[in-house]
Amino acid sequence: MQKTLSESKRCSPITVKSLPVRSNHGPAALQSPSNRAEQRSCPQWRRANMALMELASLEKSLGFKKANKYSTQGNNKTPILQSNKGAPLIGLVTIASHLVQEAAQPELLGRTAEQRAVVRQWLEYRVTQLDGCPKEDIRSILKELNQYLEDKVYLAGSDFTLADILLYYGVHHIMADLSVQEKEQHMNLSRWFDHIQHYPGIRQHLPLVVVLRNRLYTGGHH
Amino acid sequence: MTKEEVKGAVEEDSQAQSKKALKKQQKEAEKAAKKAEKQAKQAAEQQMTDEDDFAEDRYGVPPMLQSQARLDRVLVRVQDLTAEKAGQLLWVRARIHTSRAKGKQCFLVLRQQQFNVQALVAVGDRASKQMVKFAANITKESIVDVEGVVRKVEQKIESCTQQDVELHIERIFVVSQAEPRLPLQLEDAVRPEGEGDEEGRATVNQDTRLDNRVIDLRTTTSQAIFRLQSGVCQLFRDTLTSKGFVEIQTPKIISAASEGGANVFTVSYFKTSAYLAQSPQLYKQMCICADFDKVFCVGPVFRAEDSNTHRHLTEFVGLDIEMTFNYHYHEVVESIADTMVQIFKGLRDRFQTEIQTVNKQYPSEPFKFLEPTLRLEYWEAVAMLRQAGVEMGDEDDLSTPNEKLLGRLVKEKYDTDFYVLDKYPLAVRPFYTMPDPSNPKYSNSYDMFMRGEEILSGAQRVHDAELLTERALHHNIDLEKIKAYIDSFRFGAPPHAGGGIGLERVTMLYLGLHNVRQTSMFPRDPKRLTP
């Protein structure tokens, strides 16, 4: 796994399946007319849109009453949070970690030093490996995650952390496109995904992805 | 580079060249020596064969069989060579499947259809050296007449079907000689997929098989497939005959396309053109209107669809059924479903050997069915698919992936590979389909599925000329072209329903094969017109 801390990964021009935006859900920034004009063609905008929606969902699931205002910067539309106490915070993972602290739920970043390292590792994986991953590499990502989750309930072992939330948001559009057979092929990933999407308060605006609980493809036929 | 260096390089070059020349000469000398040796050996062998061969009338290549004489000789079948025949001297006609010579012995595997037996020619008081050599040199796939003694063996011969005995050959004559080079090896053609990769052995691809179909059909797998397919036809006929059906023959050259003109072959017909029948639909229905009550027919069906998939052929064998019913078309559905069940049962009980043989090369789970057959309605199927996360409208047709997924869901829930899907949306069915009386969006039509793939499409037909005209207009069909068809129903037509089954598909899906070309003896598809 790469260990770069930069989040300004070049956005490869793939079209990420856009999610149905319901106006009463998105943060105020999304409703500005300039953004709406961009919406029609630019995948980067959609990426930013996703990141902002994701942060809005995260705020809700952490129990924030009032939504923060975000802006974006650069070609990658990296999210920015202008905080009241000093320098602006830049980048999905940075802002997400900050929100967790704000919500006084530091255990979501890991309980032990080891767990904190694992959580950081998966947050980084999310923004360096998963985001903007070309279509042909998605298979190997799914395989990797499926293997890793074979003996774990959560990414950091037996505790629910921010890594689970952000990776769930990150793989949602991929999981939604998988066929029943593909979901069964990646059984551990599907189990984890189904568990997280039913975790109280996490799913928010995202549509439920159906994960069957019975095996259909046991025999080696067709 | 200085001049010196250049010179040096050139010298080196010439030296290298002379070295090469030397090597070449040496090689040639070796070759010549080998040749001489070979010739000497051949001469010695020639001398040996010229020597007195006491067994020379016990083997050889007799003149071509032109029915010169009728021999009073019984040829025993390979499958009958069992331990009970031990000690008997008998004649067998078979192919040389494989042969390997080991010094004074030559082992042969004699094959007859899907059965084979180990045979042995050994130097002794019955066979000479020359005879063993002759036996070892007979080309693979040649047909031989063999006289030999059946002997029990100590250890079972695992590689043969006749495991308890071997044949000690006393006479061997070649009836028909095969050319030494075969376009494909039979062992390669029966190797299960994946097994060859491990050992680095060749497997034969589908096109090579079909190009040399005559040889490919000799494999145990092919033999089993087509014997079972013959069984399907036989069981179909037997079951329906016992239900009081009449077998009919219908013309295949027709004047108008029966199921819409999109996928129909046109043939020139004297001064005009005609079509090849896409189904015996019209004629089945005419027979119903002519008081035949229950009819079926088995014959070729043509589809000019340019689809190159694992399950489409341009010509296949249709098993068609049409019957009158009293009050409800389910009488027909049950009759057809029961016919299918009788076929499955018959195959299970009478063709277990063939099923096992095919399973060796193409493993699949045994075919499961329920009695009475499971009948689901279309809306239920849509609900099941939606529960599995598929988004589709109430009246959308089932796509192939969704059909397969539905098959999986049904298998998981009801543990059956065979079911009927009833009450299809009217919009996705042909014009002669009877609408559902309680909900005009649906129709009295049904498909039957095996292992999640459609094998039969059927429906209650419209037997009322008025409604039929209305439906045809709704489908934008030229009434002139189907005038004869509609007129059939003007003089009293009983309510009736039916369906058509594809023989190759049934065989393919029953055995769990992956390509319909495996169950068509000489397949026809958009790219293949030979052999």
Say whether residue B512 is in contact with chain A using an 8 A CB cutoff. Answer: yes
**Domain ranges within chain A, ordered by starting residue:** 1-104, 109-222
Smallest CA-to-CA distance from B250 within B319, B152, B151, B189 is with B319
Assess whether B201 carries a catalytic annotation. no
The C-alpha of A219 sits at a distance from chain B's nearest C-alpha, in angstroms, of: 7
The Cβ-side half-sphere exposure at B203, using a 13 Å CA radius, reads: 14
> Is there a contact between B512 and A221 if contact means CB atoms under 8 Å apart?
yes
**pLDDT for B493:** 96
> Is there a contact between A222 and B514 if contact means CB atoms under 8 Å apart?
yes
Q: Which residues pair with B269 in a beta bridge?
A: B272
Q: Which residues pair with A33 in a beta bridge?
A: none
CA B511 to chain centre: 11
Tokens of B296: 């079926």
Chain length of chain B? 531
Tokens of B305: 């669809």
CATH class of A109-222: mainly alpha
Packing angle of the helix pair B129-137, B3-50 (nearest 10 deg): 130
**pLDDT for B151:** 96
Give the integer Cα–Cα distance in Å for A95 and B232.
Answer: 68
- Around Cβ B443, how many Cβ atoms within 10 Å? 23
Assess whether B457 carries a catalytic annotation. yes
Say whether residue B383 is in contact with chain A using an 8 A CB cutoff. Answer: no
- The pTM of this model reads 0.82
The C-alpha of A210 sits at a distance from chain B's nearest C-alpha, in angstroms, of: 5
Give the integer Cα–Cα distance in Å for B411 and B407.
Answer: 6
> Is there a contact between A179 and B514 if contact means CB atoms under 8 Å apart?
no
**Given its phi and psi angles, is residue A63 left (phi above 0), alpha (psi -120 to 50 degrees) or beta?**
left
Lay out the sheet containing A78-81: strands in order across: A70-73, A78-81, A89-90
Nearest CA in chain A to B359: A221
The C-alpha of A96 sits at a distance from chain B's nearest C-alpha, in angstroms, of: 31
Residues of B in contact with A175 (CB under 8 A): none
pLDDT at A34 over 70: no
Encode B188-224 in three state secondary structure: HHCCCCCHHHHHCCCCCCHHHHHHCHHHHCCCHHHHH
Contact residues for A106 (Cβ-Cβ < 8 A; gap 6+): A100
Tokens of B343: 């076929």
Q: Identify residue A58 by its one-letter amino acid code.
A: L
Q: Which candidate in B454, B461, B471, B496 is catalytic?
A: B454
Nearest CA in chain A to B406: A216
Q: Which candidate in B305, B331, B377, B453 is catalytic?
A: B305
Nearest CA in chain B to A211: B388
Q: Identify residue B316 by its one-letter amino acid code.
A: F
Tokens of B29: 């000398």
- Strands B115-122 and B165-176, by their bridges, are parallel
Least confident of A77-91, A143-157, B226-240, B497-511: A77-91
Q: Identify residue A115 by its one-letter amino acid code.
A: Q
Q: Are A118 and A163 in contact (CB under 8 A)?
A: yes
Residues of A in contact with B193 (CB under 8 A): none
> Is there a contact between B452 and A222 if contact means CB atoms under 8 Å apart?
yes
Residues of A in contact with B408 (CB under 8 A): 180, 216-217
Smallest CA-to-CA distance from A129 within A171, A90, A161 is with A171
CA B366 to chain centre: 18
Give the integer Cα–Cα distance in Å for B379 and B55.
Answer: 78
Say whether residue A213 is in contact with chain B using an 8 A CB cutoff. Answer: no
Per run of 10 residues, the mean pLDDT along chain B (length 531 residues) is: 58 66 80 80 64 86 94 95 95 96 94 95 92 95 97 94 95 96 92 73 88 96 97 98 97 78 86 91 94 97 91 95 98 97 97 95 95 96 95 93 96 96 96 95 97 96 96 90 90 96 97 96 94 90
Tokens of B61: 């290549």
Assess whether B171 carries a catalytic annotation. no
> Is there a contact between B387 and A210 if contact means CB atoms under 8 Å apart?
yes
**pLDDT for B109:** 96
Give the integer Cα–Cα distance in Å for B407 and B99.
Answer: 47
**pLDDT for B3:** 59
Q: Are B495 and B322 in contact (CB under 8 A)?
A: no
Contact residues for B348 (Cβ-Cβ < 8 A; gap 6+): B355, B366, B367
How confident is the model over B37-87, as pLDDT tens digits? 877 777 666 666 556 788 889 999 999 999 999 999 999 999 999 999 999
Q: Are B92 and B146 in contact (CB under 8 A)?
A: yes
Give the integer Cα–Cα distance in Å for A48 and A70.
Answer: 11
pLDDT at A221 over 50: no
Nearest CA in chain B to A213: B388
Give the integer Cα–Cα distance in Å for B203 and A219.
Answer: 24
pLDDT at A137 over 60: yes
**pLDDT for A173:** 92
CA dihedral B64, B67, B71, B75 (to 10 degrees): 70
Helix, strand or coil, per DSSP, at residue B171: strand
- Around Cβ B108, how many Cβ atoms within 10 Å? 27
**pLDDT for A20:** 40
Q: Which residues pair with B454 in a beta bridge?
A: B449
Nearest CA in chain B to A175: B389
The C-alpha of A221 sits at a distance from chain B's nearest C-alpha, in angstroms, of: 6
pLDDT at A183 over 60: yes
Q: What is the DSSP string of A66-114?
A: SPPPEEEETTTTEEEE--TTSSPEESHHHHHHHHHHHTT-GGGG-SSHH
Helix, strand or coil, per DSSP, at residue A127: helix
**pLDDT for B197:** 64
> Is there a contact between A222 and B389 if contact means CB atoms under 8 Å apart?
no
CA B118 to chain centre: 27
Dihedral over Cα of B500, B503, B508, B509: its sign = positive
The Cβ-side half-sphere exposure at B428, using a 13 Å CA radius, reads: 18
> Is there a contact between A216 and B512 if contact means CB atoms under 8 Å apart?
no
B46: exposed, middle or buried (Cβ count in 10 Å: 0-12, 13-18, 19+):
exposed
Give the integer Cα–Cα distance in Å for B212 and B196.
Answer: 20
Give the integer Cα–Cα distance in Å for B210 and A8.
Answer: 56
> Is there a contact between A209 and B388 if contact means CB atoms under 8 Å apart?
no
Residue written as token pair 């052999």: B531
> Is there a contact between B451 and A222 if contact means CB atoms under 8 Å apart?
yes
Phi, psi torsion values for B145, nearest 5 degrees: -100, 125
Nearest CA in chain A to B391: A210
Residues of B in contact with A220 (CB under 8 A): 363-364
Residues of B in contact with A222 (CB under 8 A): 404, 451-452, 512, 514
Give the integer Cα–Cα distance in Å for B320 and B295.
Answer: 8
Mean pLDDT of all residues in A140-153: 96
> Is there a contact between B409 and A216 if contact means CB atoms under 8 Å apart?
yes
The C-alpha of B184 sits at a distance from chain A's nearest C-alpha, in angstroms, of: 27
Better pLDDT: B9 or A199? A199
**CATH numeric code, A1-104:** 3.40.30.90
Confidence grade of residue A16 (pLDDT, cut at 50, 70, 90) = very low
The number of C-beta contacts closer than 8 angstroms across A and B is 34
- Around Cβ B347, how many Cβ atoms within 10 Å? 22
Cα separation values, B452 from B284, B308, B505, Å: 28, 19, 12
Mutation target for A interface from B361, B367, B408: give the one with most A CBs within 10 A: B408
Residues of A in contact with B514 (CB under 8 A): 222
> Is there a contact between A210 and B365 if contact means CB atoms under 8 Å apart?
no
Nearest CA in chain A to B510: A221
Dihedral over Cα of B178, B183, B187, B190: its sign = negative
**pLDDT for A76:** 78
**Nearest CB to A214 within list B401, B404, B412:** B412
**pLDDT for A35:** 40
Say whether residue B178 is in contact with chain A using an 8 A CB cutoff. Answer: no
Give the integer Cα–Cα distance in Å for B512 and B367.
Answer: 8
> Is there a contact between A216 and B387 if contact means CB atoms under 8 Å apart?
no
The C-alpha of A32 sits at a distance from chain B's nearest C-alpha, in angstroms, of: 32
Tokens of B142: 């040649």
**pLDDT for B54:** 87
The Cβ-side half-sphere exposure at A182, using a 13 Å CA radius, reads: 14
Cis peptide before B523 (omega within 30 of 0): no
Mutation target for B interface from A175, A177, A180: give the one with most B CBs within 10 A: A180
Q: Which candidate in B312, B330, B348, B375 is catalytic?
A: B312
